[in-house]
Amino acid sequence: MNKKTPKKHSTLSNTLFALKWQFKIAPGYTVFTLMQTVLGDVVTLFEHTFLTAYIISCVEKKKTLTDVLYFLIPVAIAVFIKLMLGTVFDAYIAPGEREKIQMKMRMRLYEKAASLELARYDDAEFYNDFVWAMQKAPDHITGAVGAFNTLLSRITVSIIAGAYIVSVDAYSLLILVFLVPFTYFSGRAINKRAMKMQEEIVPVQRRSDYVSRIFYLADYVKDLKTGNISPKLEKDLSDSTEEMRAIVKKRQKPIIALNVATNSAANLIIGGVYLSYLFFKALVLGKFGLGQLLGVYNSTQTLNGKVLTAVSNLSEFQNHSLYISKLRRFSETENTMEDNGRLALPAGGDIVLRNVEFTYPGNSEPTLKGVSCSFKKGEKVALVGFNGAGKSTLIKLILRLYDTTGGEISYGGKNIKNYRISNYRGCFGVLFQDYELIATDLARNISADNKPLDIKRADEALKRSAFWDKFETLPNGYETQLTKEFDEGGFNPSGGEKQKIALARVLYADSDIIILDEPSGALDPIAEYTLNKTVTELSGDKTVIIISHRLSTTRFADKIYMLANGEIIESGSHEKLIKQNGRYAEMFRLQAEKYR
């Protein structure tokens, strides 16, 4: 699989991407929050700055109360509407909308993940982007939209405040021409150093978080209690904390110094030089009154503060952009596996491999080399061999989780690429070696879909998988919750019980072709005997493919293929291979020795 160089996206491009994503999911919410943020800040500017200046001007000019009310009442109404709408929206509408946005974003990511070929998960860069996208993308999409709303609000307020300042005293423009760039570049310098500090902290924080997870995840409890790793981990945690403190101590000093210098200079300019200038023009030259003086001065303070916080917003945009870039790389990933087959699936058929070659992406050595074999309809076929022989890879190719890099695989006499992937895979019931049960009720774990459980079929599947005796002891039957993830009264099955439930899922599906990868790995001898009996009793029209290291399971197969180093080195029935006295016979004798 050829790797394309990921397209780089700018911070602006990623922010616009976030806006489009959220707008498609919740257009009303997106527009309302933008208006609420911008208009809310504008109303606050009028309330705190212009209204006070207007009232003082009215007092100076001895205007009537009616004149005051002409401006006071509209501002009061605007403030009331802002508060009421904000309260209702934040309390009753926003929580549900935010949850809906998060859910729909995650569903889009899940659908994308489900559509991607397995080979993508072998790409470390892709998998990293995938994990980041799943964990962080929704928060950073909404975060980027919120940051955009805030920035637009600050720009709007700055324009209104600046226009008011210039309308009262055009010469104040000279102060603004100096003050705004000074504030902007000072803020950028502070922001740059803060980001540098954060970049140094992140890898140390990740190490600290990893150690913390070891202490609270159940996966590590037994090792922590029986081993002597805890002191070492505690030291790692302490070292990480000290390293982060050292970084903060080193990087914080220039940041604090710049902050103090910037604020001191701004206060000196605005509170000293500029305020003196305004008093001179108002009191000595009489160019404007005290009300306008107060309005201009407060507007200048507001403008300076908005510019400074807008600059600090840039780091927020850049932070969100890093995550959104990963999301975009993930969402723009395309499958290289073609899925344009149009042939109808036959009602059963033989699976035939001809000179199949396969090399995993990124590897130079092939995993399978010139493999030719067949799985006839109704046959019970076993794949055996040592670890790394290529057995599981062969199954992945048969399922078309990967495409062959050489040769072909056919089903019903046609290349499997001529069928739609989803239709083709629907022929199989598969128990993978690394199967997983889901933290939900037993019924859904067996049916593996949202359709009502067929109790008769489920009962039969549990009996054939040797789980029936345990099932009869469960007080809630098929409604029993598996694991205690969400239910303290849930049932935590043992390793063997998990395997029996997973096997029952495959048997319940009643597929034409059944693939069992190490089906007896966690079973006790009695359960293994039941499994062997189940496999041999499966109706003759079902094809069964078994991968197993335990040859007591494979001896009942109609045909056995033994693999080594990616090639089939022996094939035939159990009796034939024993008489042949090759590698299979050697492996069988070694295992049989254990039971003497």
Q: Which CATH number among 3.30.460.20, 3.40.50.2000, 3.20.20.60, 3.40.50.300 corresponds to the domain 342-427+543-596?
A: 3.40.50.300
User: CB neighbours of 219 closer than 8 A, spacing ≥ 6?
Assistant: none
| Four-residue CA torsion sign, 132, 135, 138, 139 | negative
Q: Give me the chain's average pLDDT, please.
A: 85
pLDDT digits (tens, 9 = 90+) for 558-594: 999 999 999 999 999 999 999 999 999 988 888 777 6
Query: What confidence tier does 7 reach under pLDDT thresholds 50, 70, 90?
Result: low
- Distance of alpha carbon 303 from alpha carbon 310, whole angstroms: 10
Res 231 pLDDT > 60 = yes
Structure tokens at 253: 């000093």
Res 448 pLDDT > 80 = no
pLDDT digits (tens, 9 = 90+) for 14-58: 999 999 999 999 999 999 999 999 999 999 999 999 999 999 999
pLDDT of residue 520: 61
Question: How big is the chain, counted in residues?
Answer: 596
Q: Which CATH number among 1.20.1560.10, 1.20.1050.10, 3.40.50.300, 2.30.29.30 corresponds to the domain 11-331?
A: 1.20.1560.10
pLDDT of residue 409: 95
pLDDT of residue 503: 87
Residue reference for tokens 């029935």 = 573
Half-sphere exposure in the Cβ direction for 322 (13 Å, CA):
10
User: Of 283 and 223, which is predicted with more confidence?
Assistant: 283
- Distance of alpha carbon 169 from alpha carbon 97, whole angstroms: 45
Is residue 412 left, alpha or beta, with left meaning phi > 0 and alpha meaning psi from -120 to 50?
A: left
Structure tokens at 196: 């540098």
3-state class (DSSP) for residue 557: coil
**pLDDT above 90: percentage of residues in the chain:** 31
pTM of the model: 0.69
pLDDT of residue 81: 93
In one-letter notation, the amino acid at residue 28 is: G
Mean pLDDT within 90-96: 87
Question: Other C-beta atoms within 10 Å of 46: how many?
Answer: 17
Return the ∠ at Cα 349 (arms to 521 and 387), rounded to 5°: 25
pLDDT of residue 410: 95
Res 5 pLDDT > 50 = no
Structure tokens at 180: 């705004």
Q: Angle at which helices 230-267 and 172-216 pack, to 10 degrees?
A: 170
In the chain, CATH 3.40.50.300 covers 342-427+543-596
pLDDT digits (tens, 9 = 90+) for 99-110: 888 888 888 888
In the chain, CATH 1.20.1560.10 covers 11-331
Q: For residue 403, which of 468, 364, 359 has the smallest C-alpha distance?
A: 359
